[in-house]
Amino acid sequence: MNPLLYTDGYKVDHRRQYPENTSLVYSNWTPRKSRIQGVDKVVFFGLQYFIKKYILEEFRHHFFNRPKEEVCASYSKRINNYLGANQVGIEHIAALHDLGYIPMVIKALPEGVEVPIRVPMFTMYNTLPEFFWLTNYFETLLSTTIWLPCNSATIAKQYRQLLDTYAEQTASTPEMVAWQGHDFSMRGMAGLEAAVLSATGHLLHFTGTDTIPAIDFLEHYYNADEDKELIGGSVAATEHSVMCMGTNSGELATFKRLITEIYPSGIVSIVSDTWDLWKVLTEYLPTLKKEVLNRDGKVVIRPDSGDPVAIICGDPDAEHPAAQKGVVQLLWDIFGGTTNTKGYKELDAHIGAIYGDSITLERAERICKGLAQKGFASTNVVLGIGSFTYQYNTRDTFGFAMKATYGEVAGEGREIYKDPITDDGTKKSAKGLLKITLDNGNYQLHDQVSWDEEQQGELREVFRDGQLLIDDSLSNIRKRC
């Protein structure tokens, strides 16, 4: 598809609506408001993918490398059928094709940094006067591509900070946290690109993921190398269909076959609540204790339904005695473990637990707190973070918007802004040219600056006139995170 059609319908004729002799439009991308309590900074991530995928790859293959007559004809057909009689024209489309590249400057903060609310992450403007219309023409495509990885990277960081805090207090191996948050979101996301964009945001802070395409994505767009660094990984694991095919009456045999024949060593995660989780924990595992402890590896028990906090930590009000104890306590009763120097119990290395259904930040904290109150290290359980976390968000979670703040008409600069009288201040934009400084570790916005001042500060040119100027790596971005 012609990438100039990757836009909202109202964009296509804005070129004629700007004042005559408009020659420059300067815009920025900014998180304007946080709807997550306690979060006032947003992790910046995804722009390099956008530039490589759309500005370079898509335009090269589906615009510049196609015959001009074909491109113009397809554009004209689509717009004429879409709008009816109109005067949008195709001369500007033909001119861009003749040019052979996107005449734009994009200046950005480094990906991976935390950007305060109301501080722009990047700016962009046209470099040739006749293509002033291109700047905000890209708003829709930019927005639909970039808000999600920023959202997920920010939310993943909240999980990482939470799990780091409890591991520091209760665990002997805080480095385990890199694997403690595991991405299970792919099947619940709104399509493959959304799944991968979200999963890569997750991988800025963790190494556990079941979203395999995210690894290829980071190698292709962020210079990662799976042979030289750990991008993301997982373990062998069952699903309910496997357990069901082994039958209810044969579940014990299925467990034994899995841990002695199919996976006699290494880590294997076994979904354990297909029928009766408590029976697995009080009958099957005691029967298989010797086999589990003789393995060179870990058997991970995976409950998959119910209240995660109660299942993992126990529910004193439950009717079933096993449910009162919870998964971690029951595993301790069977397999034991050690008490670390911080005074918290850690399960024997041959056994563990993971819970991956309906985890939220609030539930994750309650699980960690509940385990600590029972004398267990937080790292006794891995948490599967899924679409309940990453899909229940929108562009408005952090109020992302791309807005023009400066333009030039007939050679004269115009500082422009919006400030709706009916709004609560969220939609009030910056004004004029922008400069970002780093003061005491925090990015600060300065608007209404001169062009000389705009060239200073923390915004770096990452793209100019068809050329990617900074090609960052996953390892660098992870360090910033």
Q: Which amino acid is at 187?
A: R
Rounded to whole angstroms, the Cα distance separating 457 from 436 reads: 5
> SS3 of 81, please?
helix
Which two three-digit tokens encode residue 135?
A: 């700047």
Q: With a cut of 90, say whether residue 424 has pLDDT above it.
A: no
Which two three-digit tokens encode residue 86?
A: 């109109």
Q: With a cut of 90, say whether residue 426 has pLDDT above it.
A: no
What's the mean pLDDT in 193-206? 98
Say how many C-beta atoms besides its own lie within 10 A of residue 386's C-beta. Answer: 21
What is the H or E stretch that residue 43 is in?
A: strand 41-43
- Contact criterion met (CB below 8 Å) for 452 and 462: no
Q: With a cut of 90, say whether residue 58 has pLDDT above it.
A: yes
If you ran DSSP here, which 8-state letter would residue 413 be given?
Answer: E
DSSP per-residue letters across 433-447:
EEEEEEETTEEEEEE
Rounded to whole angstroms, the Cα distance separating 38 from 270 reads: 36
Rounded to whole angstroms, the Cα distance separating 346 from 379 reads: 8
Rounded to whole angstroms, the Cα distance separating 3 from 25 reads: 20
pLDDT computed for residue 423 by the predictor: 85
What is the H or E stretch that residue 168 is in?
A: helix 139-170
pLDDT digits (tens, 9 = 90+) for 266-295: 999 999 999 999 999 999 999 999 999 999
For residue 14, give Cα distances in angstroms to 129, 374, 460: 15, 63, 28
What's the mean pLDDT in 360-368? 97
Which two three-digit tokens encode residue 303?
A: 């409950």
Which two three-digit tokens encode residue 329?
A: 């306590």
Query: Which residue, among 180, 187, 146, has the nearest Cα to 162 in the 3D structure?
Result: 180
pLDDT digits (tens, 9 = 90+) for 140-197: 999 999 999 999 999 999 999 999 999 999 999 999 999 999 999 999 999 999 999 9
- In Å, how far from its chain's centre is CA 144? 13
pLDDT computed for residue 428 by the predictor: 86
Say how many C-beta atoms besides its own lie within 10 A of residue 402's C-beta. Answer: 20
pLDDT digits (tens, 9 = 90+) for 105-127: 999 999 999 999 999 999 999 99
pLDDT digits (tens, 9 = 90+) for 283-340: 999 999 999 999 999 999 999 899 999 999 999 999 999 999 999 999 999 999 999 9
Q: How confident is the model at residue 342 (pLDDT cuts 50, 70, 90)?
A: very high
> Would you call 93 exposed, middle or buried from its count of C-beta atoms within 10 A (0-12, 13-18, 19+)?
buried
Rounded to whole angstroms, the Cα distance separating 107 from 442 reads: 18
pLDDT computed for residue 418 by the predictor: 87
Q: With a cut of 90, say whether residue 133 has pLDDT above it.
A: yes
Burial 50-61 (b: 16+ CB within 10 A, else e): bbbbbbbebbee
Total length of the chain: 481
Say how many C-beta atoms besides its own lie within 10 A of residue 412's C-beta. Answer: 9
